[in-house]
Structure 1
């Protein structure tokens, strides 16, 4: 009886916390048919929000893929002073509030900060523009690729890499032919997680974006702005689009997640 009780408790918890709210959003979205949904998602403001969201997500995934793989190889294959400290810092974004991250970026790269002021003097605006939003999203999703790749690298060992170097292969050739094929599925899993985090990020991006309509407004900010302005059809349509993206991402993570 105990195990059935735990199952019922878990199902009830998921139903009322997750399933019912999502189903309610879906029902409110399509209660007047498909036409209003398409009209809401094809406005210039909605299309701009989609474009900004995809742009930020693309650069976030690219940066964290390059940095994540490099950092994972460094932590697994090299010994150096401060290794344990670096390993601890990788998980810092999981403990820090996204709003704090956004505020920290403003203090460093804002117009009246030394670094931000110098960058603006040479024509590079970080805060209230795409670079600041990308930096915020990169920070928030930083550990995902690293933590997906490290266990696979440790399991693979470095015997094949050493053999390749003994036979005259260079560092890039060894990585491309030995390391990358061995970590490809773990890397794909980490990339999908990073993409999901970047698409749904709100807190840090909200602070550094300035919420400029049709300029720095992401899809999550679009949902909030439309709902606060009593445009419920647009808010629910965009929220449903985000939910569908989340479902697709979840399916991809289940497919790509390493079996062991």
Structure 2
């Protein structure tokens, strides 16, 4: 029978505990470890030939470089707007605050393909609401690299905000009010009080946003046009190589993307551990 300790923790009989552990581990293995393991196995089935093919193929190298550029630009944009929106949501009251908070989570609940289609409806140079005026001004977004940045910013925006907002709630605004009472202006208060207090949350959000940006596929596929050597990102190159019967190269590109994502998660784990020890 299950027992509840004085601390409120439910203790189950040992056989049931082990059974639940096996079910949880088995689920993760079947869903994550096994498929990723097979990807690694196929990547190195012929030694390093697949990875060598990646770095000797100009189209793939171009896709990797474009992915890195798009991810870094999108992360930089989301960093600025993510911190700004976080402070706005926590430190200020205004009409529509709850609606803004809900809209921030929209990219997490909407399919990236839908995001890409929505961007097309707005920014397409032929039929888009804003696309036509922009095209008349000589600015084209869709099927060019700015469209990739726009789509990536959309899908990764919540990651910075949802890391920073809880920390802002936790630290409160006592120190900020004290700084203002001593004559500090808004910029001084932000750089000397607010930012140092949320720096770890900002770093977590940036790293997670980078991992998400590097692996984006659906929204980017819709708005990019998938033009080889111009708007084809690494994820689109995986699809192109796999469908083009160059599966080893596709496996190798996918392995590199997984490697980046795992590295980002490791960095976040190490930073969290460091920040917890600092506190």
Residue number in structure 1 paired with 2:268: 253
For 1:158-237, what aligned pairs fall within 5 Å after superposition? 158-237=173-252
Give the match's secondary structure for 1:141.
Answer: helix
Q: Any conservation in 2 of the 1:53–1:218 contact (CA below 8 Å)?
A: yes
Return the alpha-carbon distance in structure 1 between the equivalents of residues 92 and 131 of structure 2: 34
Select between 206-215 and 79-88 the one with higher mean Cα deviation: 79-88
- CA offsets per residue over residues 4-29 of structure 1, 9 Å max, x none? 11111111111122111111111111
Corresponding residue of 2:166: 151
- Whether 2:90 is the aligned partner of 1:76: answer yes
**Which residue in the other structure is 1:98 paired with?**
112
TM-score by structure 2 length?
A: 0.90
Moved more, 199-208 or 162-171: 162-171
String of CA shifts for 1:200-258, please: whole Å, max 9, x gaps.
01110110000000100110000000000000121011011011111101101212336
Shift of 1:85: 1.2
Judge conservation of contact 1:61–1:194 (CA < 8 Å) in 2. Answer: yes
Q: Compute the RMSD of aligned alpha carbons.
A: 1.3
Q: Is the Cα–Cα contact under 8 Å of residues 129 and 209 in structure 1 kept in the other structure?
A: yes
The answer to whether 1:86 aligns with 2:100 is yes
Partner of 2:64: 50
Q: Contact 2:164–2:201 at 8 Å: present in 1 too?
A: yes
Partner of 1:128, secondary structure, is: coil
* Partner residue of 2:146 out of 104, 115, 131: 131
Preserved CA contact (<8 Å) 1:29 1:233? yes
Whole-angstrom CA distance in 2 between matches of 1:124 and 1:256: 41
Distance 1:254 1:29 in 2: 26
1:164–1:211 Cα change, 3 Å:
same
Q: Which runs of 4+ in 1 moved over 3 A?
A: 257-260
Structure whose CA Rg is larger: 2
Structure 1 residues without counterparts, runs of 5 or longer: none
> Does the Cα contact within 8 Å between 1:186 and 1:256 map onto a contact in 2?
no
| Structure with bigger RCO (C-alpha 8 Å, 6+ apart) | 1
Residue-pair matches, total? 260
Q: CA deviation at 1:196?
A: 0.8
Residue deviations 1:83-133 (CA, integer Å, cap 9, x gap): 111111111111111111100111110021241122122221110011111
- 1:111: which partner in 2? 125
